[in-house]
Amino acid sequence: MTKNFYVTTPIYYGNGPVHVGHFYSSTIANTIYKYQKISGKNARFTTGIDENSQKAVIKAEEAGMPIMEYLDSMAADHTRVWDHFNMDYTDFIRTTSNRHKITVQNVLQKCFDKGDIYEGEYEGMYCVGCESFKKDEDLVFRNKTSWDTFPVSDKVKVSENIEKICPDHLTTPDQIKEKNYFFKLTNYQTWIEEFYKANPRFVNPDFRYNEVKAFVGRGLEDFSISRETNTFGIELPFDSDQVTYVWFDALFNYYTSCIQSRAWDKNNEKFIDESKVFWEGSEENKREILHVVGKDIIRFHAIFWPAMLASYFDLGETDDKGILHYKSSDNDYLPNEILTGGYFTVDGQKMSKSIGNVIDPVEYSEKYSKELLTLYMLSAFPIGNDGDYDRRDAILNFNAKMANNFGNLVNRVVVLTMKLGLENGLYGNSDNEIKSTTNKYSKEYSDSMNEFNLKESLDNTFFFLDVLNKFADTKAPWQTIKDDDKTETIETLYTLAEWVRQVGLNLYAFFPEKMSELFAKLGLENYAARLEKWELEDLRKETPVFNITEKGQPLFARFEVE
């Protein structure tokens, strides 16, 4: 039976243009989605924007625009970027939409009726940049004269020269005191610890999981889920003076998109309930849910989110002392994995407008190429680690791997095959040696793709291309073609073409447009359409005939280092 697979990106704040940090999460999710889809899964992929936030209200005011007009322009800008990159999302979620409001209000009411949401008063600090409540340990002191920052401690006091700021936004959080509703996260302490124990792969990479477990081990606290002073957002169904605070709203986007999944019927948009396909699993439906996130939002996804879902879906079992315990069928309602990306700097520096090193993904990809950006983002450092986007290295890396190793090899195969002037195309037997090499390569490739280790898949592919280039050098078909008997040349070229075809099939998930060009160069028809119809495995096994008729443009251009 086809397995249902659901991958998501974070929904990005609708208070500014898309930058390359967002692109990073999206390209990871898009590549994973493509691979899962072409290899036969019933896959879906969602992205969207997180609109109900104070930040957006502030930005709209600054721009002198009515809030909804501002958000519409942001949504259009986000989809423009994702469409430019041909991101293959199945749904784009806006949290101001009616379908989302309905979902969130249902969830809130249910959790409230159950007694997991209660009224209280919040007094403390709130960072608008992070849209989260802050404690001293989350903040730093900054000396206003030297700009040095150091941990907050009781020994130092805020003064004319010392300020307490958020380390990520470098702004002083607001001091607030207001009536709030709280979510009883403390009810879920035992449940979540047992859930983690039973699911050792819930957070990837391991070291991030260890941080999450250590945080939970220090004891959970209830958290505020509403704001009294915010006017823009989803009203609490049980108290219309309050709107829900971003995370209770934002996280449920993943569920909204399943329970009111967007579908098209003769040009009419309608919504269908796919929650039993992609969210609620069962013995028969071992669906897989993967959230791709950045390390800054890991606690929300790995701690708050499972607890909120446990509350909404009534998960767990309460013992006679009133403690809630995890049970294995709870997994049917929870995500399988939180794939947590690290942060990257650009040329060794934090990305910032003042330094002027913020990369606009569209502009950058137009100057170089989409493939250059994707290749470097996904292969310079593994998902999970922090890394650096070294702009010079990105170009050198692209030239070496794509233009030289890959592009040149393709060119050689095309040019030499055309020289042979074969009437019935280039064909041969995929003998055991060809097969065993491709099987080994494809198995390693698929294993790392299934573990979401995209860097390993790419590294492995470029290693394989190195081997192919060495094979070409040893066989030197540009020499043997001068012989009267062309048998050896045909064999060599067929072997190379077949291996390049296998590379193309595997790189399709990363570079669908370029690999479609490659298939056309090799005279392979309908490949992209067949891949999109889940036929990766069948295509891998086929014995093709290469009808190479045109030299065409090189597959990849080379770029100058500036």
Taking the C-alpha atoms of residue 70 and residue 358, their distance in angstroms, rounded to an integer, is 22
Quote the least distance from Cβ 245 to ligand MSP, whole Å: 12
Quote the least distance from Cβ 85 to ligand MSP, whole Å: 15
Stretch that binds ligand MSP, among 17-25, 227-235, 507-515, 520-528 (CB under 6 A): 17-25
- Judged by CB under 6 A, does residue 211 bind ligand MSP? no
Looking at the Cβ atoms of 97 and 506, the one nearer to ligand MSP is 97
Q: Which residues pair with 122 in a beta bridge?
A: 178
Quote the least distance from Cβ 383 to ligand MSP, whole Å: 10
- Binds ligand MSP (CB under 6 A): choice among 87, 127, 220, 293: 293
Taking the C-alpha atoms of residue 366 and residue 211, their distance in angstroms, rounded to an integer, is 39
Give, as ranges, the residues between 177 and 206 that touch ligand MSP (CB under 6 A): none
Interface mask (CB under 6 A) for ligand MSP, residues 385-404, using x and -?
--------------------
- Judged by CB under 6 A, does residue 294 bind ligand MSP? yes
Amino acid identity for residue 422 in this structure: L
∠ CA(392), CA(397), CA(400), 5° rounding?
Answer: 125
φ/ψ (deg, to 5) at 345: -100, 170
Quote the least distance from Cβ 507 to ligand MSP, whole Å: 23
- Judged by CB under 6 A, does residue 24 bind ligand MSP? yes
Cis peptide before 205 (omega within 30 of 0): yes
Q: Could you tell me whether strands 42-50 and 91-94 are parallel, antiparallel, or unpaired per DSSP bridges?
A: parallel
Closest CA to 454 of 401, 550, 384: 384
- Judged by CB under 6 A, does residue 255 bind ligand MSP? no
User: According to the 3-state scheme, what is the secondary structure of 138-195?
Assistant: HCEEEECCCCCEEECCCCCCCCCCEEEECCCCCCCCEEEEEEEEEECHHHHHHHHHHH
Quote the least distance from Cβ 247 to ligand MSP, whole Å: 7
Looking at the Cβ atoms of 271 and 343, the one nearer to ligand MSP is 343
- Binds ligand MSP (CB under 6 A): choice among 343, 427, 471, 559: 343
Looking at the Cβ atoms of 162 and 380, the one nearer to ligand MSP is 380
Taking the C-alpha atoms of residue 268 and residue 477, their distance in angstroms, rounded to an integer, is 56
How many amino acids of this chain bind ligand MSP (CB under 6 A)? 20
- Judged by CB under 6 A, does residue 13 bind ligand MSP? yes
Looking at the Cβ atoms of 41 and 301, the one nearer to ligand MSP is 301
Quote the least distance from Cβ 448 to ligand MSP, whole Å: 21
Taking the C-alpha atoms of residue 379 and residue 458, their distance in angstroms, rounded to an integer, is 7
Quote the least distance from Cβ 343 to ligand MSP, whole Å: 4
- Binds ligand MSP (CB under 6 A): choice among 87, 125, 303, 351: 351
Q: At what angle do helices 454-475 and 432-450 cross, to 10 degrees?
A: 160
- Judged by CB under 6 A, does residue 344 bind ligand MSP? yes
Q: Could you tell me whether strands 42-50 and 12-13 are parallel, antiparallel, or unpaired per DSSP bridges?
A: parallel
Taking the C-alpha atoms of residue 132 and residue 130, their distance in angstroms, rounded to an integer, is 5
Asked if residue 426 lies in contact with residue 494, where contact means CB atoms within 8 angstroms, the answer is yes
Is residue 119 within a helix (H) or strand (E), and if so which, with residue range? strand 117-127
Quote the least distance from Cβ 562 to ligand MSP, whole Å: 22
Question: CB nearest ligand MSP: which residue?
Answer: 294
- Judged by CB under 6 A, does residue 50 bind ligand MSP? yes
User: According to the 3-state scheme, what is the secondary structure of 320-338?
Assistant: CCCCEECCHHHHHHCCCEE
Asked if residue 182 lies in contact with residue 117, where contact means CB atoms within 8 angstroms, the answer is yes
Taking the C-alpha atoms of residue 4 and residue 495, their distance in angstroms, rounded to an integer, is 36
- Judged by CB under 6 A, does residue 51 bind ligand MSP? no
- Binds ligand MSP (CB under 6 A): choice among 250, 362, 383, 548: 250
Taking the C-alpha atoms of residue 508 and residue 514, their distance in angstroms, rounded to an integer, is 8
- Judged by CB under 6 A, does residue 12 bind ligand MSP? yes
Q: Which residues pair with 271 in a beta bridge?
A: 262
φ/ψ (deg, to 5) at 40: 110, 0
- Binds ligand MSP (CB under 6 A): choice among 235, 239, 296, 444: 296
Amino acid identity for residue 135 in this structure: K
- Judged by CB under 6 A, does residue 11 bind ligand MSP? yes
Stretch that binds ligand MSP, among 22-30, 264-272, 352-360, 427-435 (CB under 6 A): 22-30
Give, as ranges, the residues between 323 and 342 that touch ligand MSP (CB under 6 A): 341
Taking the C-alpha atoms of residue 79 and residue 82, their distance in angstroms, rounded to an integer, is 5
- Judged by CB under 6 A, does residue 406 bind ligand MSP? no
- Judged by CB under 6 A, does residue 515 bind ligand MSP? no
At 141 the three-state DSSP class reads: strand
Looking at the Cβ atoms of 50 and 371, the one nearer to ligand MSP is 50
Quote the least distance from Cβ 12 to ligand MSP, whole Å: 4
Q: Could you tell me whether strands 117-127 and 174-183 are parallel, antiparallel, or unpaired per DSSP bridges?
A: antiparallel
Taking the C-alpha atoms of residue 421 and residue 423, their distance in angstroms, rounded to an integer, is 6
Looking at the Cβ atoms of 87 and 409, the one nearer to ligand MSP is 87
- Judged by CB under 6 A, does residue 21 bind ligand MSP? yes
- Binds ligand MSP (CB under 6 A): choice among 6, 7, 10, 414: 10
Taking the C-alpha atoms of residue 223 and residue 135, their distance in angstroms, rounded to an integer, is 12
Q: Which residue has the tokens 């593994």?
A: 382
Stretch that binds ligand MSP, among 169-177, 248-256, 320-328, 469-477 (CB under 6 A): 248-256
- Judged by CB under 6 A, does residue 132 bind ligand MSP? no
Contacts with 487 (C-beta within 8 Å, 6 or more apart), sequence order = none
Residues that bind ligand MSP (CB under 6 A): 10-13, 21-22, 24-25, 50, 250-251, 253, 293-294, 296-297, 341, 343-344, 351
